[in-house]
Amino acid sequence: MRRLPPLNSIRAFEATARHLSFSKAADELNVTPGAVSQQVKVLESYLNLKLFKRKNRMILLTDEAQICLPILSEGLDKLAQSFDMVREQNNDKPLTITAPPALTSYWLLPRLSGFQKQFPDIDVRLDASNDIADLVNDDIDVGIRFGTGEYSRLEADYLFSQNVIPVCSPTLLEGEHKLQTPEDLRNFTLLHAQGDFFVSDNTHIDWDMWFASVGVAGKDIDACHGLHFSQHNFLVDAAIRGQGIALVGDVIVSDELASGKLVKLFNDTDIPLNFSFFLVYSNTKAHLPRIKIFRQWLLDEVKKIR
């Protein structure tokens, strides 16, 4: 007969050890930090040893805790996977996808009709959001993230990289002001999106950086003027409607460029991004048929643009 400590104390220790924080573990488990601390004490009492040590207002793992944490985390992952498999036998759940709004609107959504035609028995629930969902604990199957591809406890498949390019509606090319060189942008409205495009953890591309990269910074051009939006899908919509010039990812608007709704401006002004798009999902859910099917379909789709 197995003699095991209470499951709540195991979960409390594992979450605290991953975050090295009682408060973050409490947020994950939807309890108070005091409750987490108490459950850790229960486990320490059961084992008759300390699992954490305090140093400079921080908590650190003891040597014993470092030994057991990887095995314990793997065990909890397998436990979750086993119950997922049981639920799958009796619950025909939809495929739940989370992805950034602009990528969803202009790249993913137009292609999902092909997925539905090919796999009509799989229902899809799509969450277009910039929020970072918890793919391990939340009821979300897969996500598309923009970053480095290194995500704790998640599998990550590379999809594609992008260049930032200036685009506009072709109607702007027919106006009274010419639009042949970057200097000509002084006569046009610039479109901005909050955050723009991150190229590293602390650096993002905006009009100011773009003008500097093409050598026209400070030449009577206000890089901050124009229309400002909270999300990139609004920025793309405004560019299509002829409301100004936008900096966008070339892959995201590839369909709009191909159809002529948008045109790329200038030559040799592209800025490559260090971050890329990745398909991510929990390694405890990778076995689910709907995830395996969607993963292969999406990888086949991106082959067309590489």
Buried b (16+ CB within 10 A) or exposed e, 38-67: ebbebbbeeeeeebbeeeeeebebeeebee
**Could you tell me the CATH number of the domain that includes residue 298?**
3.40.190.10
Tell me the whole-structure pTM to 2 decimals: 0.68
Pick from 90, 111, 129: which residue ends a domain?
90
> Quick one: which of 268, 304, 297, 284 has its CA closest to 122?
297
Q: Answer whether residue 1 is part of any domain.
A: no
How far, in Å, CA of 177 to CA of 187, rounded? 7
Q: Structure tokens of 252?
A: 């995201």
For 104, the domain range is: 95-159+276-303
Pick from 29, 61, 90: which residue ends a domain?
90
Same-domain check for residues 285 and 153: yes
For the stretch 165-217, pLDDT in tens is 999 999 999 878 888 999 999 999 999 987 545 444 445 678 988 888 888 76
Q: How many domains does the chain have?
A: 3
Asked whether the predicted pLDDT for residue 251 surpasses 80, the reply is yes
> Quick one: which of 233, 231, 262, 258 has its CA closest to 245?
262
For the stretch 1-53, pLDDT in tens is 567 778 888 888 889 989 999 999 898 888 998 999 999 998 888 888 898 88
Which contiguous run of DSSP H or E holds residue 40? helix 33-47
